[in-house]
C-alpha cells in the first residue's frame, strides 16, 4: 500500500513536470512558427522589390546605355556585343555581354544599401537546359563562388529561382526563433522570357519585426522564468518533504534501535549484538561477559522528586556508564535496568576491576534541581565460559547475580555462581508453595504483647505472620515475604492477615485489648485499602477502635497525597493509624505535619543502644518529646532489658513491646489475658536515681554501640505484613 501511494505521488509529479514542459514547448513552437513566417514574409517582400528594381534597371539603363554609348564612342555597336538579331518568342533578347554589364551596374546600385550584400552571380551556360552546368562569378575570388555552390541548400535555391522564374528565399532559423544571419535571396535574371542567370544576395533583416520579436522573446523569457520558478518551487517543496521524511525515517530508525531518553541502544540491539558476540566467541573459542545493572530505589526518586528529575537522573547514570565502559556496548533494557556487553576476551580479574570502577563512579552524588542525589547501583556479572552458552542462559545467570547483589546491601556487584541456580529453583518452589499455602490455609498468626509503662497493664498485641510449611516446617517471613511481593501475592496474603486478625481479636474475652496490623508499601493500594479494612471490620464484628494500622515512611514517599487521603478515610472509620519505625526515614517531621498519626513507634535500632550512646538517648528523648507535644501515643519496640524500660519510662514513653515482655505467641490456644502473667518481676515503682535520670535525659556516659547484654537473646526483625 505504501509503495502504491509512493508510486502515485511520483507519477503525479512526473505528469505535472511533463505538462509544464509540453506547455513551454507549445509556446516555443508557436514563437518559432511566427518568427519564421515574419522573416520569410519580409524576405520575400525584399526579394520582389529587388526583382522589380532589377527589371526596371535593365529595361531603363539598358536603353539609355545603348544610345549614349554609340554617341559617345562614335563607333557603331557590334551586333554580337549589344543586341542579338532576331526575335525569340514574344520578348526581345539582350546579348550576354550587355546583360552582364547591366547586372554589374545593378550590383553597384544594390551595394549602396547597408542591409544588402551581393554574394554572387550565377550564369547558366545553356538556357532552358535543366542539367546545365552552373558557373558563378563573385566580386572576390572564384573559389568563393564555388564554395557558395557547395553550401547546403544553395543549389536547391538556385534551381527553384530558375524553375519558377520567381525570387527564392532562404531564412536561417535558430532555437529562439530569431534570424541568426542575413537571409539569402536568389533573384532570377531574365533575358526576355528566359532565365539567363541568378543573382544571389544577402539581405540583413535585423530590423524585421523588431518590436514583435522582442515582445515574443520577452514573453517567452517570462514564461520560461515562470516555468523555471514553478519547477524550482516544486523541486524545493519536494526536497523539503523528502528532507522531512528522511529526518522522520532517521528518527524512526534511531528510536527503533535506541532508547529515546538516554540515547543508549535498546533491548533489541543488545540482544542482536549479544547473539553475534556469542557466535564469534564460539568460532574463536573466546569468552564474553554480560553485566546487568539496576538502579537502587529509583522509584523513591521518581515519587519524591518527580519524573522530570528521575529522567535527568537516568541520563546522568547513562553518561557515567558510557565513561566507565568506553567502547563496550551499554544498553538500557527497561526503566531502571541497564546492561553491558563485554564482547572482547577479558579475564575475571579485569572484569572485576571494571565493575568495581563503576561502583566507585557512583560514590559522587549528582546535583539536580539544587538537590544532591546519591547514586546506587547493583551489578550482576556473568561470563560465558563455554561455547554452548546461549544468550538467554547468559542473561539469566547475570540476572541471578544481580538479585544476589540487591539482597546483599545494594551498591555492590556479585559474580554468578552455580549455587545461585539452586536458590532460584528454591524461590520458584516457594512461590508455587505460597500459592498452595493460601488455598490450604497454611499461614498462622502470632501476637506480641504491648504493655503500658505507667501501670504495666496489657494494652494489646501486634500481629505477626508465620508460615507452617507441611514439609519444611516454619518459614521465616524474611524469606517468603520478598517472594510474595515479587510474585504479586502480597495483597492477597495481606487481606487474609487483616481479616483473620480482626476475627481472632473479636473472639477475645477482653474487649479492651487492641490489635495492630502492619501494612507494607507493596500491598497498600490507595482507594482499596480502606475497602479491605471496612470489609474486615464488618465481617469480624470487631470494634474499629480496637484496630490499629501500622505503616512506614516509605509508604508515604511513594504517593503522599493518595496515601494521606486513604489513611484519612481509615481514621474516619475510627481505626487508629501508627507510624512504624519512626526516625529511620529522612522526612518524618514533614509527614507528621501533613497527617496526624495516633501512634509513633520508636524503631528498635534506637532502643537497642539506649543507655549506651549519648546520641541515641538524645534522639529517643526528642521523639518522646515530639510525641507529647503532638498528643500521640509513643510505643517503643525491641525492649529486651530492665535498663531500657527504666530509661523509656523516665523519658515518658507510653507503651513498650519486646522479648522482655513476651515473645510472639499463638493466642488460639491461650487466653490473651494470661499474657500479663508472663511479665518479668520488674521493680519499676522506685523513683530513678540521678544517674538513671541523667541517662533518660541523654546525658549518660557513652558506651559501645555494638555491646549487647550478655546472655540476652536479640529479637529478630519483623516483616511488615497485612
Taking the domains of the chain in order of start, what are their residue ranges? 2-208, 267-417, 426-696
Phi/psi at 100 (5° precision): -65, -40
Tens of pLDDT, residue by residue over 468-527, are 888 888 888 888 888 888 888 888 888 899 999 999 999 888 888 999 998 887 777 777
Residues 347-398 have pLDDT tens digits of 889 999 999 999 999 888 899 888 888 899 999 999 987 667 888 889 999 9
Class of domain 426-696: alpha beta
Top CATH class of 267-417 equals alpha beta
- Whole-angstrom CA distances from 518 to 465, 487, 590, 609 are 10, 20, 22, 24
Q: What is the 3-state secondary structure (H, E, C) of 385-396?
A: CCCCCCHHHHHH
pLDDT-derived band at 128 (thresholds 50, 70, 90) equals very low
The yes-or-no verdict on residue 652 having pLDDT over 70 is yes
Average pLDDT of the segment spanning 15-40 = 71
Least confident of 20-29, 535-544, 595-604, 616-625: 20-29
pTM above 0.75, yes or no: no
pLDDT at 79 (0 to 100):
37
Over 50: is that where the pLDDT of 634 sits? yes
If we measure between CA atoms, which residue out of 291, 295, 293 comes closest to residue 381? 291
pLDDT for res 379: 94
Comparing CA positions, the residue from 663, 604, 658, 637 lying closest to residue 446 is 663
Closest by alpha carbon to 120, among 155, 171, 160, 172?
A: 155
Grid coordinates of 662? 513476651
Residue 139 has pLDDT above 60, yes or no: no
Strand-pair category, 413-415 with 377-384: parallel
Residue-wise pLDDT tens digits, 210-223: 455 566 667 667 77
Task: Dump pLDDT digits (tens) for 684-715.
Answer: 554 444 343 434 343 333 333 333 333 333 34
181's CB contacts (< 8 A; 6+ apart) are 172, 202
Mean per-residue pLDDT over the chain, rounded: 77
Predicted local distance difference test score (pLDDT) of residue 85: 39
The torsion angle over the Cα atoms of residues 112, 115, 118 and 119, rounded to 10 degrees, is 150
The whole-number pLDDT of residue 295 equals 92
On the question of pLDDT at 197 being above 50, the answer is yes
Q: Tell whether the model's pLDDT for residue 175 goes beyond 60.
A: no
CB atoms closer than 10 angstroms to residue 409? 9
pLDDT score of 317 more than 70: yes
228-237, 277-286, 428-437: least confident range? 228-237
Predicted confidence band at 77 (pLDDT cuts at 50, 70, 90)? Answer: very low
Average pLDDT over residues 259-276: 90
- The C-alpha atoms of residue 127 and residue 496 are separated, in whole angstroms, by 135
What distance in Å separates the CA atoms of residue 37 and residue 1, rounded to the nearest whole number?
Answer: 53
H or E segment at 592? Answer: helix 588-594
C-alpha triplet 30, 36, 209: angle, nearest 5°: 95
Amino acid at each position: 500500500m505504501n509503495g502504491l501511494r509512493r508510486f502515485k505521488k511520483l507519477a503525479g509529479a512526473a505528469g505535472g513536470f511533463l505538462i509544464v514542459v509540453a506547455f513551454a514547448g507549445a509556446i516555443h513552437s508557436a514563437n518559432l512558427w511566427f518568427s519564421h513566417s515574419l522573416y520569410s514574409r519580409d524576405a520575400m517582400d525584399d526579394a520582389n522589390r529587388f526583382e522589380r528594381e532589377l527589371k526596371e534597371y535593365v529595361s531603363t539603363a539598358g536603353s539609355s546605355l545603348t544610345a549614349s554609348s554609340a554617341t559617345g564612342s562614335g563607333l557603331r555597336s557590334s551586333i554580337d556585343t549589344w543586341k542579338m538579331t532576331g526575335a525569340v518568342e514574344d520578348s526581345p533578347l539582350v546579348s550576354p555581354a550587355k546583360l552582364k554589364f547591366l547586372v554589374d551596374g545593378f550590383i553597384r546600385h544594390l551595394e549602396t544599401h547597408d542591409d544588402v550584400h551581393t554574394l554572387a552571380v550565377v550564369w547558366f551556360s545553356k538556357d532552358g537546359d535543366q542539367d546545365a552546368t552552373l558557373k558563378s562569378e563573385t566580386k572576390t575570388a572564384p573559389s568563393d563562388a564555388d564554395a557558395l555552390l557547395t553550401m547546403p541548400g544553395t543549389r536547391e535555391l538556385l534551381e527553384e529561382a530558375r524553375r519558377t522564374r520567381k525570387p527564392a528565399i532562404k531564412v536561417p532559423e535558430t532555437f529562439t526563433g530569431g534570424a541568426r544571419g542575413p537571409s539569402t535571396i536568389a533573384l532570377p535574371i531574365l533575358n526576355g522570357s528566359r532565365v539567363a542567370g541568378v543573382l544571389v544576395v544577402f539581405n540583413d533583416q535585423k530590423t524585421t519585426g523588431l518590436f514583435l520579436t522582442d515582445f515574443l522573446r520577452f514573453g517567452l523569457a517570462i514564461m520560461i522564468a515562470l516555468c523555471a520558478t514553478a519547477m524550482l518551487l516544486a523541486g524545493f517543496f519536494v526536497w523539503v518533504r523528502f528532507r522531512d521524511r528522511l529526518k522522520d525515517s532517521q528518527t524512526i530508525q534511531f528510536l527503533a534501535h535506541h532508547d529515546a531518553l538516554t540515547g543508549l541502544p535498546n533491548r533489541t540491539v543488545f540482544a542482536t549484538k549479544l547473539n553475534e558476540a556469542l557466535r564469534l566467541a564460539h568460532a574463536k573459542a573466546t569468552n564474553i561477559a554480560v553485566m546487568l545493572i539496576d538502579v537502587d530505589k529509583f522509584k523513591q526518586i521518581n515519587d519524591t522528586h518527580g519524573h522530570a528529575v528521575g529522567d535527568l537522573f537516568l541520563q546522568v547514570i547513562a553518561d557515567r556508564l558510557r565513561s566507565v565502559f568506553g567502547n563496550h556496548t551499554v544498553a538500557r533494557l527497561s526503566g531502571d535496568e541497564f546492561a553491558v556487553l563485554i564482547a572482547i576476551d577479558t579475564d575475571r580479574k579485569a572484569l572485576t576491576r571494571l565493575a568495581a570502577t563503576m561502583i566507585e563512579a557512583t560514590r559522587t552524588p549528582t546535583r539536580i534541581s539544587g538537590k544532591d542525589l546519591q547514586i546506587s547501583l547493583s551489578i550482576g556479572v556473568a561470563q560465558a565460559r563455554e561455547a554452548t552458552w546461549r544468550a538467554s542462559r547468559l542473561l539469566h545467570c547475570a540476572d541471578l547475580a544481580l538479585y544476589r547483589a540487591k539482597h546483599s546491601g545494594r551498591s555492590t556487584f556479585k559474580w554468578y555462581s552455580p549455587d545461585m541456580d539452586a536458590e532460584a529453583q528454591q524461590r520458584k518452589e516457594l512461590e508455587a508453595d505460597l500459592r498452595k499455602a493460601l488455598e490450604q490455609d497454611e499461614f498462622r498468626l502470632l501476637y506480641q504483647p504491648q504493655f503500658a509503662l505507667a501501670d504495666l497493664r496489657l494494652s494489646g498485641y501486634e500481629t505477626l505472620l508465620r508460615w507452617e510449611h507441611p514439609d519444611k516446617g516454619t518459614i521465616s517471613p524474611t524469606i517468603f515475604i520478598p517472594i510474595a511481593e515479587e510474585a504479586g501475592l502480597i495483597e492477597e496474603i495481606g487481606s487474609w492477615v487483616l481479616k483473620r486478625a480482626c476475627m481472632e481479636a473479636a473472639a477475645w474475652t477482653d474487649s479492651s485489648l487492641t490489635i495492630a496490623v502492619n501494612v507494607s508499601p507493596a500491598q497498600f493500594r490507595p482507594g482499596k485499602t480502606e475497602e479491605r479494612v471496612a470489609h474486615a471490620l464488618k465481617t469480624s464484628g470487631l470494634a474499629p477502635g480496637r484496630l490499629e494500622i501500622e505503616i512506614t515512611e516509605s509508604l508515604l514517599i511513594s504517593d503522599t497525597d493518595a496515601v494521606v487521603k486513604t489513611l484519612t478515610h481509615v481514621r474516619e472509620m475510627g481505626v487508629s493509624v501508627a507510624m512504624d519505625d519512626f526516625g529511620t526515614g529522612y522526612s518524618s517531621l514533614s509527614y507528621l505535619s501533613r497527617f496526624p498519626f495516633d501512634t509513633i513507634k520508636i524503631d528498635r535500632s534506637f532502643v537497642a543502644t539506649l543507655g549506651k550512646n549519648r546520641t541515641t538517648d538524645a534522639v529517643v528523648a526528642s521523639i518522646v518529646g515530639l510525641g507529647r507535644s503532638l498528643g500521640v501515643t509513643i510505643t517503643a519496640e525491641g525492649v529486651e532489658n530492665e535498663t531500657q524500660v527504666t530509661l523509656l519510662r523516665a523519658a515518658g514513653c507510653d507503651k513498650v513491646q519486646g522479648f522482655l515482655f513476651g515473645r510472639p505467641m499463638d493466642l488460639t490456644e491461650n487466653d490473651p489475658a494470661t499474657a500479663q502473667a508472663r511479665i518479668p518481676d520488674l521493680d519499676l515503682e522506685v523513683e530513678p536515681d540521678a544517674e538513671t535520670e541523667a541517662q533518660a535525659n541523654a546525658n549518660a556516659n557513652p558506651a559501645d554501640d555494638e555491646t549487647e547484654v550478655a546472655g540476652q537473646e536479640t529479637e529478630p526483625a519483623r516483616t511488615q505484613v497485612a
